[in-house]
Structures are given as structure tokens and as C-alpha cells.
Amino acid sequence: MEYAVQGTLDELGTPLDQITFVVFDLETTGVSADEHAITEIGAVKVRGGEVLGEFGTLVDPGSPIPPFISVLTGITDAMVTAAPRIDSVLPSFLEFARGSTLVAHNAGFDLSFVRAACAALGYPAPGNPVVDTVVLARRLLTRDEVPNYKLATLAKVFSRTEPCHRALADARATVDVLHALIERAGSFGVHTLEELKGFVRAPTPEQRRKRHLANGVPGEPGVYVFEDDRGEPLYVGKSTNLRNRVRSYFTAAETRPRIREMVAIAERIRTIVCSTPLEAEVRELRMIGSAKPRYNRRSRFPERMVWLKLTDEPFPRLSVVREVRDDGAGYLGPFGSTRAAEDARAALHETIPLRRCTERITPRVGRPACALAGIGRCGAPCEGRQSVEEYGLHAAAARRAMELDASEVFSAIEARMERLSREQRYEEAAADRDRLAAYVRVSARMQRLRGLTSLPELVAAAPLTNGDWEIHVVRHGRLVSAGVMPRGAHPTPFVDALVATAETVVPGPGPVPAASAEETECVLRWLETPGVRLVRVEGGWSLPIGGAGRFRARIELAYRSREQYGDREGRPRR
């Protein structure tokens, strides 16, 4: 006869209402713990739903705060001039957190800065248990409940504190989010810290039950398709090793609520073996774009991309369109959203006095001038104040800024943004930052794409570790053939055969005439991989010397910071 034995407290774990949590947030001068520094620390100590104390201080980073970061956080050099340095702040923060469980939203980001500061000052890195509210939210909340896992989004649902990229306010908002998630976890039988950690890591019963779907999947590069009981695609993915990737969906490593939901519906997995990883990546994009599986979020609607068009008329204007035509107009894009295209248009309008009215005007048919003419922002060709030739100089400048030289637009917006920052008009400066980022990033992207898509044919090869060679044929930016040449084979007949059997391409109009922009970018990334060699190139492959690409590095910090802060509030970037 067996008797039940009551477990010890150690075996049962520590109840969550007895855990002391220190919920903290940092503001920094950038996104790299190795290169950037902390500007603010905020922390809230809680236990059993009660606030036990708060810790908050600005930190002198020892270097100027980039203007883009000041726009994002509101923290300026003047604010941190009298603040303590990190060598004075860190011991106090470590003491405040001693013996607690640390909590942060995308904890890896904040902890990387704490660990870097500890290493620089000779302190041991904190060994506290860690709870990441991003990971917990992704385990507990579905996309039907929240559109994303950013702190700002979760705070709207669970907190009365609005995150504002200031450390203590964001930490307070994270406290409310933590308590709401712990309450939600309780409905799953999670009541101790140990159970909470195990709950985040554990696969669901549906994941365990569906593991047999991965049986027989080959260990080759290719594309996999999760299908429902009717054979409809639920999710399309790619991998350099199909077996390993597919099996991961049925383990604790897969924590995305939406994907776990998909696994519960799936009844079969179809695989397509590809010659090379690049072919698999391209096939994935094409299949997602055509089948539009409901559990894929990326690349489902390439046809929804928008363009900024410099119209072909006597007095051209900038128009946001969804179609590229062979009409002699100038195009900038593609943009992922109308908002981004409008931001880029605003950046061009800030520098070049193009008309903004939508009516078609000619030298013979005009209309009264608008207010922009009165403040010198438009030459009023509608009233005949500018001839076609005079206005044409502005149109030519706009086309040059869109296709060849970004310096005029970049310099004008940067100067205005720095002036607004000095005047502490941060919202206006942030709007200019977004416009400049939209313009520079898309202009640089289009120029890179056009450099490849202008080539009628390109053949390139990359060596593999076993002595084989991956070989790809690209026409007008579209992958048309792929193969692996065995070690020791003669390259000429192999390449000739790939070229002869490659897909025929009739290019259309615009910068991406034969494939989606995403596909051409995949090809470009592969071509830029170390070791890739050009075998044949028909035409000249070049970029404009004054193109927007030379400004990417100057806005990279701002754009990466905005992304990283967004990811701190959503999905960690790894």
C-alpha cells in the first residue's frame, strides 16, 4: 500500500506572492553595450503586489548623447551634466537589487548594459533570477488580444502608466504588466517562481501530440509548409536543414503563441527540397506571396507595396501610387506603407519647392495659388509665375535626389532637426527624424536594387566546405537557376547548362522589373557574402557615387535605437 507524502517547501517552490521582484529599465546612448553607455536607471521593488521602494537616477554617460537619442528619450546633455557617473550609481543599484528576482521588458538588452558596467568596474555580474515580461507575454497572450508585445501596447491594456522612454516611468508600467501576466499565469496552475520559469519553457500538450508530423522530414535545405486537414497552407518557412527546423516547432524552444496555435491546427507538413539555401529563401518568399498563409505575417502581400512617383507632366508633383508604369515618370520605393511614403515625400518637400496641389496644371490652364506660395514654399506655377523650364529645374532636382544624390535633402533635414533639438522641440524633431529615415533608407535600398536589376544576367558561385560550389543565375534581380557543382567538375559545361535551363525573364518597368524587392534583396545579401565570386556579368554593376547609401551610417544609430527600443517592447532581436 502506498501513501501520499507531502512535499517539502523546497520541492513545492517559492510562491510568487513571496518573491521580491526588482523591475527595472535603462535608457542608454545607443544599442550596443560594448559601445554605448547608460543615461538613466529606474527600478521598482515589489512583493505580493506591494511597492517596497523605488530607485531612479540619471547617469552621466561620459560622452555626448546623440541628438537622435535625445529626441527619443528627452534626455539631453544638459540634464546629465550634474548627474553621477556609473561608477557611483552601479553599487547602489546592485545593492537595491540584491536578493531579488530581476524583471525587465526584453531583459537581455538591459542586462547586457548592467553586465558591461560590472565588467568595466570590476564587480561580479548579477546572478539574480530573471523574468522577461516579453517572453512571458508571448507565452500567455495571443495576437487576437494584443497586436504586438511592445511595452506601450501591453501598458494600454494592463497599466495606467504610459511608457515614455524614461526609465522609472517605464519600470512602473512594467510592474503593472508583470502583475497582470502573473495573474494570467495563475489560470494555468502557475503559482511559484519555479513553475513560472518552467511554464515559459515547456511545450504545450498539442506540441507534444503533433511531434509525429516531423517524422521523415529530410535534413536538406528547402521549404516546409504546415497544412490543415483540407490541405490549405497555414505557415510557410525555409531552412538550411529542414529536419532540425521542423522538429523545433514541437519543443520548448518554440514559444510564440501564434505559432503554437498553428501547430495545434496543423495535420501535415509538406517539404520541398532545394539545391541551395538561397533557392529555399526565394521559394519561401514566392510561396508566401502567392498562397498568403494566415499564420505568416511577413511577405504576404508584396502587391501592397507603395511607391513615390514624380509625375510626368509639365509641372510634375510627388504622388503616392501602388503601381509602377512605363510612363517616363520617376519612382522612389518600394515603401512598406503609405505613411512611410508620405514621410519621404515630406522630406523632399522640405528641401525642394515642388507644388503640392493635386490638380493637373499646364501653361495654359492654371488656378489661383495656395498659401504655400505666400510663404515661399512654392513658386506658384499655377498662376504662371514659373515657366515650364524654371519649374523643371526643381523637378530635375527632385528626380536627382530620388535616384542619384541624397546630400541636399539630408543636409537640410539634419540641420533643421538639430535646431529643433536645441530648442527642445522634440516632437517636431522626431517627425523630421522619421521623414529623413524613411527617405534615406528607401532611397539607398532602391539604388542598391537598381544596381542589380539593371543587369540582364549575372552568374555567381560560392565555395562550400566540402569542396562543392553553389552556383546561381540571376536575371534583372530575379533568381532563375540554382545548382551545386560537385568538387572537381569542370565549371564551364556546368554553368552553361544552368544558364541554358534558366527561367526566361522579360523585365517590366521600374527599379524592380522582374521580382519582388524582397527577393532581389535576398540575392544581394548572398552576393555580398564573403567568398562569393562573379562568374559572368552582362552589363555594368554600379551604384551612384552621391547616393543615399553613404548616409545610412549617419542615421543608423538613430534608426537602430528606435528599432531596439521597439524590440525592447516587443520581440528581442538576436
Q: Which residues are tagged catalytic?
A: 165
DSSP 68-109: HHHHHH---HHHHTTSPBHHHHHHHHHHHHTTSEEEETTHHH
Grid cell for residue 554? 549617419
SS (H, E, C) 190-254: CCEHHHHHHHHHCCCHHHHHCHHHHCCCCCCCEEEEEECCCCCEEEEEEECCHHHHHHHCCCCCC
Cβ contact 421:429 at 8 Å: yes
Per the omega criterion (within 30 degrees of 0), is the bond before 334 cis? yes
CA angle 124-127-131, nearest 5°? 140
Q: Please, which residues bridge with residue 473 across strands? A: 459, 481
In angstroms, the CA 60 to CA 257 distance is 40
Residue with cell 550609481: 89
DSSP state letter for 298: S
User: Which residues have CB under 8 Å from 143's CB, separation 6+?
Assistant: 257, 258
In angstroms, the CA 568 to CA 109 distance is 7
| CA quadruple 249, 254, 259, 264: dihedral sign | positive
In angstroms, the CA 225 to CA 280 distance is 12
In angstroms, the CA 133 to CA 170 distance is 13
Cβ contact 423:76 at 8 Å: no
DSSP 338-365: HHHHHHHHHHHHHHS------S---SSS
Question: In which element (H, E) is residue 538 found?
Answer: strand 533-538
Three-state DSSP state, 332: strand
Grid cell for residue 268? 501535415
In angstroms, the CA 174 to CA 22 distance is 10
Q: Please give the single-letter amino acid code of residue 409.
A: V
On the CB side of 558, CA atoms within 13 Å amount to 25
In angstroms, the CA 274 to CA 355 distance is 51
Question: In which element (H, E) is residue 110 found?
Answer: helix 107-121
Question: In which element (H, E) is residue 520 found?
Answer: helix 517-527
